[in-house]
A and B are shown apart, each in its own frame.
Chain A
């Protein structure tokens, strides 16, 4: 019979399979778009802004954009892991607030700066782990669980401060909000470190492979011997920890503990993840895409401000861009299913 190669024609039924050559071409294009497409969008956007706004292309402005992007980018890094497992985390903005408030309170109480920083990250990790536990062990929908925690964590941030912001102008770790290393703002340095860690986790570790597997096909992952619950718990915990780091930067930048910190940030973070090409259906996406997605949002905001576009038009443009990004994602999936 047929020599067995990976081009052996298959049953036409019901397992319909297109001709390998055609598929390969289709999947190469999809693959290429996954990796490069979003960079192309960023380059076009930068070119556009450079042409329209005369002061856009300057080192100062680039640093400005990077600094303004850092918090959203760090939130989005954690969120990427959760979304890769086919989950969602709406509570990252509230976790940012609680972690930020907690770390300032620790610092004000005289806890050494490194421990206060660690405390903030830990608060975030614990809050995320709680989300993960509900999602993994009680099999509750992530949307509902994190909608709930978004609310109770916000409440917690208020109650820790009796509803009032707490100014801490001599905050020990104010540097990570405002300082810079060799001309590069510290928040940007932190962002780069966070991305390096998350890239390593997703691309080089067993956990990373498991994240993609769980998001791609949860039942197959379970049957393949993956501890699905532990993977889910870890994913939400990482998202919480990243939000904790973002909370530290936020507090350091405003030199205070703010109960309203990070309100609505989850939406920008989700937008960055989706813009970066990660599928909301899970199992597909790259951490560096998310970074580019966050930068696109930052460049867009920055450019619109430089162009003196009124705030409400900025919102309209941002919203439309997000919808286009999601449409691109579903188009990609459609073309893949349709081959």
Chain B
């Protein structure tokens, strides 16, 4: 890899605006032949926007893209593929009911007398798979393969279409350790064949293992690019990258409960629900923040909804402060002192057409009305109080909630819960899609609420967050709790091992690891 060669892909001065938000601001970036270029940054820092631009999904507002030195415009993913840029998305792009060979041939099926030539198709598939060193039967339905193998098939397709630049978006998110190692080998072999690889990941150790260069994004800006092969004073350490990502030391972001947790407030015993959820058993103490982690679909949200009364339980017993928590609907849940921040703010929590005041006050109207008539003064006082606590400006009171940022919208929902003065607060992905400023604010609030003695259960897919703010971690898999960890000592790797059920030796645990208290 010499400096003089023209990069395979160059973007220069790229900006992209959504409405009035600058998602990418004057970004210049390149990928050279024979390198792995890692992209890092918080969710929403601008990585995905950049990836969508170089894969033809978005058009930049300003700036240019050059492939091997010549300017190109990419109006669609198809255009990107033609010039040799392919992307492997986090969510797999395969059709599960179709075979591996059919998936590989999609859009380019070999025909014979106008009919599908199945034999040729399978032969071509074998060859494509061989090029990436994957030993997979082309006749198997792709949905029956592991995620890692499906990913191999996708890479095989990209390589077969002569991709020179391959973008991998969080490729190891759902892979076992063995599968990850196989993927790394494949990445190295593609690199040695002169391909340029863009590797997006949150996992520092992977980046350390693979990357030749690292570029960090924050708030739509390219913060910097570091040469990982540099030595001496130029040498970079993990701390430098983290600092670039968050703009400060990570310890300052997360706020962990300093107080002692008290008596057990919530007990859950053998709770089961529709869709093979449970049996699940655990406790949450007053003042304790318990994190619930696991892969998507592991059943975390379902458990939260069962406790709250949003869904019907099929079995088990739940108590709150020693009283049975028998809830048939959210009305019962709220009455019993449970507050839920739902997973999807826009679909399940916000009234976008209503004012900030109405949004915050909606669940506690009975406290501020007589004979069904709302006492406006009393409601206003309560809402103002909570807005101070949330640090939302009170001149926002009459604004429609749709006019607020995601972070402030989330704070409205939190405000609604604060007014309920819940004994148990369940927060499902409390910081999803909010900016880092609002995040730290939300962490502070969680800590504050726990400080008042409430039991707090936080569902999070953001592992550093879950590790950073919880006292205890419950790891869920397939509708059950498979591990209970001390969040102060656990690390991301061990959590992922429990969450995926795949350990260093590639062995899976049996389900009897079961319930943990």
Tell me the minimal C-beta distance from B137 to chain A in angstroms: 37
* Shortest distance between the CB of B435 and any CB in chain A (Å): 5
Determine if B261 is an interface residue (Cβ-Cβ < 8 Å): no
A339 to B441 alpha-carbon distance, docked (Å):
27
In angstroms, Cα B330 to Cα A12, docked, is: 32
A8 within 8 A of B: yes
For A25, give the chain B residue with the smallest CB separation. B403
Q: For A17, what are the chain B residues with a Cβ–Cβ distance below 8 Å?
A: 19, 21, 404-406
CB of A54, distance to nearest CB on chain B (Å): 44
For chain A, residues 277 to 312, give those with C-beta under 8 angstroms from any C-beta of chain B.
Answer: 283-284
B407 interfacial contact with A, CB 8 Å: yes
Residues 23-57 of A, flagged 1 when their CB comes within 8 A of B and 0 if not, give 11001000100000000000000000000000000
Closest to B308 in A: A223
A158 within 8 A of B: no
Chain A residues near B315 (CB-CB < 8 A) = none
Query: Which chain B residues border A208 with CB–CB below 8 Å?
Result: 374
From residue 6 to 31 of chain B, which have CB atoms closer than 8 A to chain A? 18-24
B49 at the interface (CB under 8 A from A): yes
User: Does A10 belong to the interface (CB within 8 Å)?
Assistant: yes
A216/B354 in contact, CB under 8 A? yes
The answer on a CB contact under 8 Å between B348 and A219 is yes
Binds A, one of B71-79, B199-207, B388-396: B388-396
A319 lies within 8 A of chain B by Cβ: no
- Closest Cβ neighbor of A217 among chain B residues: B351
Contact of A220 among B219, B349, B435 (CB under 8 A): B349
Chain B residue at minimum C-beta to C-beta distance from A8: B437
Q: What residues of chain A lie closer than 8 Å to B248, measured between beta carbons?
A: 1
Given known pairs A213-B351, A219-B347, A283-B353, the reply for A10 and B21 (CB within 8 Å) is: yes
Whether B403 pairs with A20 at a CB distance below 8 angstroms is: yes
| Contact with B43, one of A13, A19, A213, A225 (Cβ below 8 angstroms) | A13
User: Inside 8 A of B372's CB, which chain A residues have their CB?
Assistant: 205-207
Contact A24 B330, beta carbon cutoff 8 Å:
no
Are B369's CB and A6's CB within 8 A? no
Residues B404 and A20 in contact, CB atoms below 8 Å apart: yes
B416 near A212 (CB under 8 angstroms)? no
Q: How far is the CA of A163 from the CA of B289 in the complex (A)?
A: 71
Known contacts A8-B407, A12-B49; is A223 also within 8 Å of B342 by CB?
yes
With an 8 A cutoff between CB atoms, is B358 at the interface?
A: yes
- Chain A residues with a Cβ closer than 8 Å to the other chain, count: 49
> Which of these, B361, B400, B434, contacts A11 with CB under 8 Å?
B434
Q: Does B142 contact A (CB under 8 A)?
A: no
- Taking a contact as CB atoms under 8 Å apart, the answer to whether A13 and B403 are in contact is no
Task: Write the nearest CB–CB distance from B81 to chain A, whole angstroms.
Answer: 23
B438 CB contact (under 8 Å) in A10, A20, A209: A10
B186 at the interface (CB under 8 A from A): no
A225-B363 in contact (CB<8A) = yes
**Dominant SS among interface residues on chain B:** mixed
Chain A residues with CB under 8 Å of B145's CB are none
* A19 to B371 Cα, complex, angstroms: 41
* Most chain A CB atoms below 10 A, which of B220, B247, B331, B403: B403
**Which of B247, B406, B441 lies in contact with A4, CB distance below 8 A?**
B441
CB distance from B515 to the nearest CB of A (A): 27
Q: Which of A6, A8, A27, A226 contacts B402 (CB 8 A)?
A: A27
For residue A14, CB closer than 8 A to chain B, the reply is: yes
A114 nearest CB across to chain B (Å): 25
With A6-B405, A206-B372, A209-B362 in contact, is A13–B354 under 8 Å at CB? no
Does chain A have a CB within 8 A of B48?
Answer: yes
Given that A204-B374, A207-B372, A219-B347 are known contacts, is A226 also in contact with B44, CB under 8 Å in the complex?
no
Q: Please, which residues of chain A bring their CB within 8 A of the CB of B393?
A: 5-6
The listed residue (A1, A2, A12, A210) touching B21 by CB distance below 8 A is A12
A5-B393, A10-B21, A206-B365 known; A225 and B334 CB under 8 Å? yes
Question: Roughly how many angstroms separate A4 CA and B310 CA in the complex, as a whole number?
Answer: 32
Residues of B within 8 A of A13 (CB): 23, 43-44, 48-49, 433
Q: How far is the CA of A212 from the CA of B399 in the complex (A)?
A: 16
0/1 per residue, B146-172, Cβ < 8 Å to A?
000000000000000000000000000
In this complex, the member of B347, B362, B372 whose beta carbon has the largest number of chain A beta carbons within 10 angstroms is B362
Judging by beta carbons under 8 Å apart, are A225 and B331 in contact?
yes
Once A8-B407, A17-B405 are accepted as A-B contacts, the answer to whether A223 and B21 lie under 8 Å apart by CB is no
Residues of B within 8 A of A16 (CB): 18-19, 21, 23
Does A15 have its Cβ within 8 Å of any Cβ on chain B? Answer: yes
Enumerate chain B residues within 8 angstroms of A227, measured Cβ to Cβ. 331
Q: Could you tell me if B369 and A8 are in contact, using CB atoms closer than 8 angstroms?
A: no
Distance of A267 Cα from B197 Cα, bound (Å): 62
- Cβ < 8 Å to A, chain B residues 318-357: 329-331, 333-335, 340, 342, 347-354
Q: What is the interface of chain B, defined by CB distance below 8 A to chain A?
A: 18-24, 43-44, 46, 48-49, 219-220, 247-248, 308, 310, 329-331, 333-335, 340, 342, 347-354, 358, 361-363, 365-366, 369, 372-374, 391-393, 396, 399-400, 402-408, 416, 433-438, 440-441
A-B pairs, 4 with minimum CB distance: A11-B44, A12-B23, A19-B20, A18-B19
A-B contact pairs, 27 of them (CB 8 A): A1-B248, A2-B436, A6-B396, A10-B434, A12-B21, A12-B22, A13-B49, A14-B433, A15-B44, A17-B405, A18-B18, A19-B21, A23-B20, A23-B403, A205-B374, A210-B365, A212-B351, A212-B353, A213-B362, A216-B351, A219-B348, A220-B342, A224-B330, A224-B363, A225-B330, A225-B331, A225-B363
- Given A11-B434, A223-B310, 11 more A-B residue pairs with CB atoms under 8 Å apart are A1-B440, A4-B391, A4-B438, A6-B392, A8-B408, A13-B44, A205-B369, A205-B372, A205-B373, A216-B351, A226-B331
